[in-house]
Amino acid sequence: MRGFLALVVLVAVERVAELVVSQRNLAWSTANGGKEYGAGHYPVMVALHTGLLAGAVLEARSRRRFVWPAFWVVAAAQVLRWWCIGTLGKQWNTRVVVVPGAQRVVGGPYRVVPHPNYVAVVLEGAALPLAGGAWITAAVFSVANALLLRTRIRVENEALTSLT
């Protein structure tokens, strides 16, 4: 259980690092005329991702095992996520914010998949709880996340039409 708890804490620290980068980029975007799209679903996304971490820990307490293949999927998801963040640079944000006149990014993982960060989210959302044997949390998060991503990707695609 300690190994799994350490993994969840590391993911939580990574999420805080994401929020720091996101806030910095949001300030830059706002200063450059950035417009936010779909702000209404953002609190739902925050609650869902917070629930993933809490649910995984609570459910895994009763399982007492660590699943190494799932750990490696979580690690790969983090690498993909930070590749996305690095590729988008100042345009990356946890919110959907578009700066008028910005170039649409089509390099890095975006040359292969239109929304690679969401691939990372899907992988992590299933694998993180499974690393601790928390299969109910993995299933509930995956279904709820699929519903949320339908909205999120639609909003993001609409927002991206304004980019050149």
Q: Where are the domains of the chain?
A: 2-160
Do 159 and 98 meet the contact criterion of CB atoms below 8 Å apart? yes
61: pLDDT strictly greater than 70: yes
**Which one-letter DSSP state was computed for residue 114?**
S
27: pLDDT strictly greater than 90: yes
* pLDDT given at position 62: 72
Beta-bridge partner residues of 35 = 98
Burial of 44 (0-12, 13-18, 19+ CB in 10 A): middle
* pLDDT given at position 76: 98
- Which numeric CATH code is attached to 2-160? 1.20.120.1630
30: pLDDT strictly greater than 80: yes
Phi, psi dihedral angles at 95 (to 5 degrees): -100, 170
Residue with the bigger pLDDT between 163 and 146: it is 146
**Which one-letter DSSP state was computed for residue 66?**
-
131: pLDDT strictly greater than 90: yes
In 10 A of CB 67, how many CB atoms? Answer: 19
Strand ranges, E, within 14-137 = 35-37, 96-98
Q: What is the pTM assigned to this prediction?
A: 0.92
* pLDDT given at position 16: 97
Amino acid, single-letter form, for residue 94: T
Q: Residue 109's closest CA among 74, 82, 146?
A: 82
143: pLDDT strictly greater than 70: yes
Give residue 164's pLDDT band: very low, low, confident or very high (50, 70, 90). low
* pLDDT given at position 99: 96
Query: What is the tens place of the pLDDT at every residue in 64-119?
Result: 778 999 999 999 999 999 999 999 999 999 999 999 999 999 999 999 999 999 99
